[in-house]
């Protein structure tokens, strides 16, 4: 199995080297040695990074993701946790759908102010009730949004 240096892993995974070092520090990935100072990784790390990306997208924190990796390096993903997360996602999807519809409605609603529109008020009530999470779902700020490797 060919060994990759950090630059190559960064390039092929689209993950900045600084993030790779960070992941290693957190135990999410492991380098298998050094060439001089430079870390060397097995190419399997790319798979692992993909798994990490997937986990993040699914809403797991890095700490949770780290826990799914067994000491021997394999990933043993708890099937019940997966199902639970799928359930969560399902609820989420329904709620996001409601919000999307609400936004669309608000965009065309003839009411002089959105506050006077019953549909909009209903959705507002939903959000205010805490039924919907206040997550930065689509945060435009801060977070990187780069594509993968070129």
Question: Applying CB under 8 A, which residues contact a second copy?
Answer: 13-14, 46-47, 49-51, 53-54, 56-59, 61, 63-64, 74-75, 77, 79-80, 82-83, 85-86, 88-90, 92-93, 95-97, 99-104, 106-108, 113-115, 123-141, 143, 145-148
According to the binding rule CB under 7 A, does residue 98 interact with DNA? no
Nearby residues of 139 by Cβ (< 8 Å), 6 or more positions away? none
* Nearest to a second copy of 24, 64 (CB atom): 64
Dihedral class, residue 36 (left if φ above 0, else alpha if ψ from -120 to 50, else beta):
left
Name the 3-class secondary structure at 131. coil
Query: Nearest approach, Cβ of 47 to DNA (angstroms)?
Result: 17
Establish if 37 lies at the interface with DNA (CB under 7 A): yes
**Torsion angle, CA of 109/130/64/87, rounded to 10 degrees?**
-70
Nearer to DNA, 2 or 35 (CB): 35
Separation between Cα atoms, residue 93 and residue 36, nearest integer Å: 48
């Amino acid at each position: 199995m060919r060994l990759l240096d950090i630059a190559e892993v960064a390039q092929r995974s689209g993950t900045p080297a600084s993030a790779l070092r960070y992941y290693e520090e957190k135990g999410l990935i492991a380098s298998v040695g050094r060439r001089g100072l430079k870390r060397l990784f097995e190419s399997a790390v790319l798979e692992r990074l993909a798994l990490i990306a997937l986990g993040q997208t699914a809403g797991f924190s890095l700490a949770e993701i780290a826990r799914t990796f067994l000491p021997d390096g394999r990933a043993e993903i708890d099937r019940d946790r997966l199902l639970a997360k799928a359930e969560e996602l399902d609820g989420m999807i329904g709620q996001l759908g409601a919000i999307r519809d609400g936004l669309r409605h608000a965009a065309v609603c003839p009411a002089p102010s959105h506050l006077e529109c019953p549909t909009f008020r209903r959705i507002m009530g939903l959000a205010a009730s805490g039924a919907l999470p206040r997550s930065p779902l689509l945060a435009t700020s801060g977070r990187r949004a780069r594509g993968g490797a070129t």
